[in-house]
Structure 1
Amino acid sequence: MPPAAIPAKRALPSKEGSLFKEVLNLYETRQLKKGLKTADQILKKFPEHGETLCMKGLILTHMGRREEGLEFVKKGIRLDLTSHICWHVFGLIQKGEKNYEEALKSYGQALRFDKENLNILRDAAHLQTQLRTFDALVETRHTLLRIRPTVRQNWVALAVAYHLNGEPTDACRVLAQYEATLKNVPDYDVEHSEVLLYHVRLLEETGALADALALLDDSAKSRAIVDRIAIMEFRARLLSKLGQDDAVHTWQALIEQNPDSHDYYRGFLSHRDALTDENRGQALQILKDFTSQIPKAGAPRRLALNLAHAHRGTEGDEFKELAEPYLLAGLEKGIPSLFADIKSLYRDSAKRQTIEDLVEALREKLAATTAVPSGAADAEPTTYLWTLYFLAQHYSYLSQHTRALELLETALAHTPTLPELLMFKGRVLKRSGDPHGAARCLDEARVLDLQDRFLNTKCAKYRLRVGMIDEASEILGLFTKKDAPSPGADLEDMQSLLYLTEEADAYLRKGNLGMALKRYTAIQKVFDELEDDQFDFHGYSLRKFTLNVYIDLVKWEDRLRSHPAYVHAAITASQIYVRLHDDPSIASRVGSSANLTGAEKKAKKKAKKAEKKVQGESQKGSPAATSNANEDKGLEPPAAKDDDPDGAKLLQSPDPLEKAARWLAPLSTLAKPSVDGWIATYDVAVRRRKYLQAVRALNAARALDGEHPELHVRIAHLRRTISSAPQPPPAPIGPVVTAAVSELLPEGVSLEHFSSQYLQRHPANPLAILASARISHLLQAPREEVESALFGVFNPEVQLDIRGALRISEFLDEIGSPRADEFRSACDARFELSTVFKSPAEKTALRWNAAESAAVTGDADKVEVVG
């Protein structure tokens, strides 16, 4: 087949054709200045040569002249719409902007005119993987393999494409053909070893366990697989699945390699029959045998506590026999994380009581002992200290905060310079509803070691929780870059989810919705960047043959937004957007500078000053100022200027519900167990009049917790919304929605009866009382009736806690109740340790000068350790 004729507008004379090839070569070798001069030589004679214009634009973009370069590229495409080079360049620009869908379309256009261009095919494959279009990825990898069948990477890439597309059997077939073509593989070839391990993994996934074991054993004997631990782990797992006795020896060998790996012990036990009450004793004996064989191993001792039964008041309590030496060893060694280690055992009330009895007995013994036994003079005082610390954690976990504080005071009298004691005292006070006292305790702990980054970070976190945002920023500034515009900006660059989440929540509690939304949006950007970061690995991992890790990475990225930080940010941001939709005047009220506090005005002024500083630095480094420093800036667009320092523009979004829906979209598949996520989804969907989506959200929430108070309120809200609508939902969804609502709440049941039935089922739950009151308010009941119902939480049978009381207090403020202060006063009297129900003036009096309390306020690097 003769080559296609070159269009007249694209054809160049011999001299200029050679110059164009030189432009391509100079770009590939990153000789950008020479490439630009050469492109200009061509354009002097042929100013409308599209391919040269695109290449000039690409080079200018790399040199930092982005806007100018984009204009040249767009002009070049308009002049030559059938050039694969023009479309390839446009795709590169869009890929640099992380606009992957449009970039893939450009690559598709380029492939129409050059179907076998290796560079375009390879880049298109990476984009298809990023966008998870695996069907198209398989086709692209087939094409690459057909063009270059001698390249090893093309075989492996096709197998990976099949695997990602859910066809592991075809992936195995490709790898088998690839391995059959190999000759003279060098010894200890790590890349070949990784391919073989990947092949074994694929065979295991397809259920061909015998074939996987045979390939593993053959490769191990020939030393084709060099990772000996991986061989043992794969072999142990395969033998266990096949039910072969050799699995015992393999798991035992792994345990000898790493006696503290819980997974190895679980694998050893899983080889036997599934754990039941009948064989529990046998499994426990196995762990005891491992303990005697490997005395220094802690894993078998800890796992044995999971299996042992606790029988209080009976002889032969196996749990007590095992727990006593385990706890005593941890307390004698002074392990601060001992309680965190055994906390999971508290699900069994008998075990929890046994632990309490053991440690309390030890505390009484140590407190009463005056003569220290021989050989224990050094250990005895610290054992007593850590016993007090453990018991404080124990009682605080059981919500016995007063007892926990008593033990901590005793421990602080014993050793006042142990930061862990003050840190946990702060946590107890936080749980007791005293965030001010908690922050003060963390500040005292910080002063004990001003160079400890963990202590300073923890202190900053507690200051944020009490609303001391500027004071927290001062502490964080001790450990951030000194040349950063602000500590917060540096922490945002470092993707500190803890800081962003805590500061967003702090602004939300203060009512500054703009800054809260700005911080939640920063969390969203972090996850967007994490998603974009995987792009480079699509090529790198295949070049380096790190296939197993790469597959794990792709699967991890697929569930990235199930991370608790994203789930929390998505739900809270969507709630803010719902509030903005329900009351658009919030944006003008909250966004005005008149409503800002002095600290917030100061922060806003500081942000503008930092922005000017960044702009000045960028102008100094601009191409106009220096031509040598920015020869190759890459294709990524420059960092966007922060033109919304206080979040006011976010509040003034014209489509808040659409933004909320985009936030919540990933949760429907990645956070299915979250009732709060489904409730937030309902709130957005019902306001967008997407009633089927709203019903699905409520059904999903009911499947998780049919008695959830918020679900109860939303069911009533949906019934009232549908019944009070001017016209019913249109066909064909109208009958479906009506039937679904009837299933949630039968038509014959009134909302009043529905609410009273729910309250009868949960008379002691304060949130259920709140839910019932909210439905009464929804039904426009008199405010006095709603208030009376809410004050019923002070009845003796109601199990009122601080969180429930705070929710009720917020609702009273929401409905404008004149009894809100009365309710807070009653809560303040009931929860003696709390400060969250005090008046604003009393809260202000609780604040302290943090700078003065911290003995030294200079740079952490210059501070002596205070003992």
Structure 2
Amino acid sequence: MFKVVGIPAKRALPSKEASLFKELLTLYETRQLKKGQKTADQILKKFPEHGETLCMKGLVLTHMGKREEGIDLVKKGMRFDLTSHICWHVFGLIQKGEKNYEEALKSYTQALRFDKDNLNILRDAAQLQTQLRLYDGLVETRHTLLKLRPTLRQHWIALAVAHHLNGNLTEARKTLEHYERMLKNVPDYDVENSETLLYHIQLLVEMGEFTDALSILDVSAKSRAIVDRTAIMETRAHLLTKLGSEEAEDAWRVLVEHNPDCYDYYRGYLSNRGISLGTPSTDALTILRDFSTQIPRAMAPRRMALSIATRDDFRELVKPYIIAGLTKGVPSLFADIKALYRDDSKRKTVEEIVEAAMKDFSPDSSTPSSSSAEVEPTTYLWTLYFLAQHYSYLSQPDRALSILDLALSHTPTLPELHTCKARTLKRAGDLFGAARCLDEARLLDGQDRFLNTKAAKYLLRAGMNDEASGIFGLFTKKEAASPGADLEDMQSMLYLIEEADSQYRNGKLNLALKRYINITKIFSEIEDDQYDFHGYNLRKFTINIYTKLLKWEDKLRSHPAYIHAALSASRIYVAVHDDPSIATASSLSTNLTEAEKKAKKKAKKAAQKVQEDNKKTNEDKGLDVPTPKDEDPEGLKLLGVSDPLEQASKLLAPLRTLAPKNIDVWISLYDVSIRRKKLLQAVKALNHAKSLDRDHPELHVRLIDLRQRASALPQTPPPPIGSLFTESLANLLPEEVSLETYNSQYLQRHSDSASALLAVAKAAQLLKAPADEVEATIFATLGNSVNLTIKMASTMIRFLSTIKSPRLEEFQAACDAKYPLSTMFKPAAEQTLLSKQVLSRPAEANKVEDTT
């Protein structure tokens, strides 16, 4: 890995020590760390100020787990010899292990000043340049590597990829063509060459050179140079379509026969014929019907036909599709069909067909059909299951529950029925009943991870975190500090999001923030994990996958989990900024339960055990920073940071470009920017939000908030900010309209929207309206003309609680009467009693659980 070049006098060692230093380099590369340490000590005994040896010893100690001691030695060695490429390389490796990629690259650059042709340093520098997306420098580094080792295939491909990433497709093509001309005696079925040719073809496609790409594909396929037959067929079909060739139709048909259940192949076939699936088409329907006749077992053309069929055609096609699914007992049939419900006529048709099927398949049917005697009893059961899901999805819980009771009396041991009932109760607002149903479902198969996970998820939603942790613990490591700690190590997004949301609803903002930040850290870890693939993919020649990986990593934080965590965490930070007493209150109210005390004690023991194991072993621990001890398990330090708005701004920053169409992102960006006194950023955020939805309820509140804050400014901002801010504000909300009038006009336009009425109430609160007026607006949502959902009703209760309304219990009681199945609006004492009943069950059920 390291090499010794021309040695200056101050760095020169006698022949014996010079040999020992070369041996030290070899011992490090072969990971003989103890011997390496002893060898370094032999040199340092006579030459204690030899910088390179000090650095190498520090590197060895770092790999042995003595990180702090090793880093101190490396820094000491650097001070003794700032002109050694070995010292700078070692320092770069240390910084890279700390994920400080910018500084590591600077160290490699310094190392190359003193040894410009060092292959190892150049290779490491190229990986860092890719990690940091410094593609100009990457091209230069890859050129240098190629000049030094022109016979290495990997260097040619790496240079082509560097040009490609830098946007210079022409140079990438020239590099690949030159590389391919140099190749000789390539064996058949050589995977590396096959992947390179596929990459070359993909590059030509991006350049629009379809004819050349097709030529290379055909020649390579005939000569057996490309191994992946499916890739050949798919690429050929796409290229022929782009070229408008008559052979394209046959190419797509071959793909359909190759995999009759691949939807993309049918889309490609229809697209080649100039037919779009976006609108109903007789031609498309005829083609899909033909495919269904030719390939009877294929389900894809039958399902695609349902999306474009209308009226009588739809009824004719959907009935055999549904009946076949019910007869076969396909549990996912409703999940497959429900996308059709966007069309009301199709939804009604499906409902009529399944209702008729239920009567026909019923064992108590008074008018059995000729085929009902041959129908399996389970067909009736799956029909009931489908109908229950249907009515649950349509927000008709009473009808769904009555059907489920019928199904459970028929077969009480089918877990799907219990999960469906849980989902129905959840939608109806009975979170405790939903958790109880899923607990019953999991007891039917105690070893089913899905059922146990789902049960724990519903317990979290019901606010029963300790009970959920117990169920998660059935499948986590027993030696882990807690089930939550193990799930966090495994980067379980499902657990972290549900746990964070549950803590948020319970008012434990410190614990909620802790989980949200843990979610954002997972994305940083995923981003860091790509580093190893920069070298691996080029060595293995999996180039097409590699370029897709880089594009995916660039959009990593557009993932819904990150957006949810960043938005929720930013709202907590804004709340802490507005009311710092929240952090103090959280600190005072943190009383550990017995379960939490046990978990904390267990975590301490586990940490001690790890430390003891580290002392005993001498295995290579690598350069990566070890997982630090969690000094803030309760999240109190996170909640009490001195710069909450800066922390929120960092979380939201990637979403400006990665989630530009998410209006909640821009609302949150406004909330942070206006409090940071970033006026132009604030108005820009609202302008963007207005372009997405000018009547969004939260936007309405923020516009009034912005006008109020602008009026309260002690002086006009200096130019050019002042004029731009004033002009933008006038475009958002004209000055001639008073805020009270603006709020009442919005109410008149959206008097039937619950979310709009809540926005009007919030705005009225900002405008210091009388409490009676604010409360009246909230109570107006109970009217028959307003579609008040359970979720929105809960939000309104939180708002009334925030403003300390004396009518809070009155509104809560009205919601309880409006939603009789819901338990969310029950008094606290009644909810506590219901929570205790969730897991209370007969002794026989407990025995079942014990045996699992």
Change (3 A) 1:134 1:277: closer
- Deviation track 1:510-555 (CA, whole Å, cap 9, x = no partner) reads 1111111111111112111111111111100000001111111111
Equivalent pair of 1:479/1:860 in contact (CA under 8 Å) = no
**Greater shift in the superposed pair: 578-587 or 442-451:** 442-451
Equivalent pair of 1:604/1:645 in contact (CA under 8 Å) = no
**Corresponding residue for residue 469 of structure 2:** 473
Change (3 A) 1:5 1:454: closer
Letter in 2 for 1:657: L
**Greater shift in the superposed pair: 750-759 or 209-218:** 750-759
Aligned to 2:18, what secondary structure does the other structure show? helix
> Cα distance, 1:14 vs. partner?
2.5
> Cα distance, 1:168 vs. partner?
2.3
> Cα distance, 1:747 vs. partner?
1.5
Matched, 1:610 2:606: no
Aligned to 1:51, what secondary structure does the other structure show? helix
Letter in 1 for 2:756: A
Alignment of structure 1 residues 638-717 onto 2, 5 Å:
638-717=626-705
Which ranges of structure 2 fall in alignment gaps of 5 or more residues? none
**Corresponding residue for residue 25 of structure 1:** 26
**Greater shift in the superposed pair: 578-587 or 550-559:** 550-559
Alignment of structure 1 residues 813-852 onto 2, 5 Å:
813-848=801-836, 852=840
- Deviation track 1:143-193 (CA, whole Å, cap 9, x = no partner) reads 111211111000100111111222223211211111011111112110000
Equivalent pair of 2:340/2:346 in contact (CA under 8 Å) = yes
Aligned to 1:226, what secondary structure does the other structure show? coil
Matched, 1:484 2:472: no
> Cα distance, 1:374 vs. partner?
7.2
Distance 2:702 2:456 in 1: 37
- Deviation track 1:397-429 (CA, whole Å, cap 9, x = no partner) reads 222222211221221122221111111111111
Equivalent pair of 1:604/1:646 in contact (CA under 8 Å) = no
Distance 1:503 1:277 in 2: 40
Matched, 1:362 2:350: no
**Corresponding residue for residue 430 of structure 1:** 426
Aligned to 1:576, what secondary structure does the other structure show? helix
Equivalent pair of 2:214/2:239 in contact (CA under 8 Å) = yes
Aligned to 1:275, what secondary structure does the other structure show? coil
User: Where does structure 1 differ by over 6 angstroms across 4 or more consecutive aligned residues?
Assistant: 276-279, 371-375, 856-862
Letter in 2 for 1:322: L
**Corresponding residue for residue 306 of structure 1:** 307
Distance 1:172 1:825 in 2: 71
**Corresponding residue for residue 264 of structure 2:** 263
Aligned to 1:244, what secondary structure does the other structure show? coil
Change (3 A) 1:861 1:779: closer
Letter in 1 for 2:331: P
Distance 1:535 1:5 in 2: 32
TM-score (norm 1): 0.95
- Deviation track 1:413-456 (CA, whole Å, cap 9, x = no partner) reads 22221111111111111111111111111111112111211111
Matched, 1:389 2:389: no
> Cα distance, 1:734 vs. partner?
1.5
Distance 2:272 2:590 in 1: 64
Alignment of structure 1 residues 220-299 onto 2, 5 Å:
220-275=221-276, 280-299=281-300
Equivalent pair of 1:388/1:407 in contact (CA under 8 Å) = yes
Distance 1:515 1:279 in 2: 51
Letter in 1 for 2:71: L
Distance 1:7 1:583 in 2: 63
Equivalent pair of 1:62/1:633 in contact (CA under 8 Å) = yes
Alignment of structure 1 residues 374-413 onto 2, 5 Å:
377=373, 379-413=375-409
Change (3 A) 1:679 1:694: same
> Cα distance, 1:577 vs. partner?
0.6
Change (3 A) 1:713 1:249: same
Matched, 1:51 2:46: no
Equivalent pair of 2:519/2:562 in contact (CA under 8 Å) = yes
> Cα distance, 1:720 vs. partner?
1.1
**Corresponding residue for residue 313 of structure 1:** none
Distance 2:245 2:398 in 1: 56
Distance 2:843 2:818 in 1: 36
Aligned to 2:189, what secondary structure does the other structure show? coil
Matched, 1:724 2:715: no
Equivalent pair of 1:611/1:642 in contact (CA under 8 Å) = no
Q: Give me the identity figure in percent.
A: 63
**Corresponding residue for residue 499 of structure 2:** 503
**Corresponding residue for residue 768 of structure 2:** 780
Distance 2:137 2:704 in 1: 47
Distance 1:603 1:139 in 2: 58
Distance 1:496 1:211 in 2: 46
Equivalent pair of 1:451/1:861 in contact (CA under 8 Å) = no
> Cα distance, 1:372 vs. partner?
6.3
Correspondent of 1:601 among 569, 575, 593: 593
Distance 2:734 2:89 in 1: 60
**Greater shift in the superposed pair: 764-773 or 29-38:** 29-38
Equivalent pair of 2:680/2:721 in contact (CA under 8 Å) = yes
Letter in 1 for 2:697: P
> Cα distance, 1:78 vs. partner?
1.1
Equivalent pair of 1:372/1:380 in contact (CA under 8 Å) = no
> Cα distance, 1:15 vs. partner?
2.4
Correspondent of 1:803 among 782, 791, 795: 791
**Corresponding residue for residue 611 of structure 2:** 619
> Cα distance, 1:204 vs. partner?
0.5
Correspondent of 1:549 among 545, 558, 562: 545
Alignment of structure 1 residues 208-223 onto 2, 5 Å:
208-223=209-224
Distance 2:455 2:12 in 1: 69
Aligned to 1:847, what secondary structure does the other structure show? helix
Alignment of structure 1 residues 627-638 onto 2, 5 Å:
629-638=617-626
Aligned to 1:848, what secondary structure does the other structure show? helix
**Corresponding residue for residue 178 of structure 2:** 177
Distance 2:280 2:696 in 1: 38
Distance 1:815 1:184 in 2: 80
Correspondent of 1:791 among 749, 772, 779: 779
Equivalent pair of 1:444/1:854 in contact (CA under 8 Å) = no
**Corresponding residue for residue 579 of structure 2:** 583
- Deviation track 1:587-615 (CA, whole Å, cap 9, x = no partner) reads 110122xx246xx4334423421231122
- Deviation track 1:54-94 (CA, whole Å, cap 9, x = no partner) reads 00100111111111100100001111111111110011111
Aligned to 2:276, what secondary structure does the other structure show? coil
Letter in 1 for 2:111: A
Equivalent pair of 1:443/1:854 in contact (CA under 8 Å) = no
RMSD over aligned CA atoms reads 1.9
Matched, 1:736 2:713: no
**Greater shift in the superposed pair: 613-622 or 78-87:** 613-622
Equivalent pair of 2:361/2:372 in contact (CA under 8 Å) = no
Aligned to 2:614, what secondary structure does the other structure show? coil
Correspondent of 2:514 among 498, 513, 518: 518
Letter in 2 for 1:413: S
Distance 1:178 1:771 in 2: 64
Distance 1:680 1:236 in 2: 46
**Corresponding residue for residue 319 of structure 1:** 314
Change (3 A) 1:38 1:859: farther
Alignment of structure 1 residues 158-173 onto 2, 5 Å:
158-173=159-174
Change (3 A) 1:5 1:689: same
User: How many pairs align?
Assistant: 848
**Greater shift in the superposed pair: 155-164 or 722-731:** 722-731
Matched, 1:349 2:310: no
Which ranges of structure 1 fall in alignment gaps of 5 or more residues? 311-316
Distance 1:675 1:363 in 2: 44
Distance 1:250 1:548 in 2: 22
Aligned to 1:622, what secondary structure does the other structure show? helix
> Cα distance, 1:863 vs. partner?
2.5
> Cα distance, 1:381 vs. partner?
2.4
Aligned to 1:177, what secondary structure does the other structure show? helix
Equivalent pair of 2:275/2:284 in contact (CA under 8 Å) = no
